[in-house]
Chains A and B, each alone.
Chain A
């Protein structure tokens, strides 16, 4: 069975400082991994995806994530937080063993302080 654990339910950062959102996954086979963002009263938007190509993946809005198989992690980072980054972020895993169905983490809510 596949699973995702987002290690922090809430993260608070100051504007202009780095953001780190931690995600660990479990999957039987080589997984596909995604990060989605959900702004208040909005649907989810795909930030970036890893599908067995380069392990460092760049996404929209300056975010990037690194796939580390040995650590079963897919942490999301951004060098400098902006007020507009305040949102909830979901790490998602998908694997062929599960018919490519998605398993979502519980989410990390990011607060950006001015």
Chain B
């Protein structure tokens, strides 16, 4: 049973460019959340997708957008990249309708903006 998978693992972008990160949730999970973890900090919640809709959003600008597909996988898009967007981006999956309360994370995508 595959856990949460994310791609790409590492990437380098230039200021002003756009990036797309991808996540496949754990089998059986229907909810995907995205977090940003800056160096030396705890993860910060960006947004959450359920039933292909953005259900909750943290304190992040509109440059951060996302999408969820019918198979529950998700994308995170960041436009007009800034140096401060350099971070580890983590995807978390959970099961909204389930009784279990586990929330699993992927290995993350390391984004460096130069």
A and B form one complex:
no
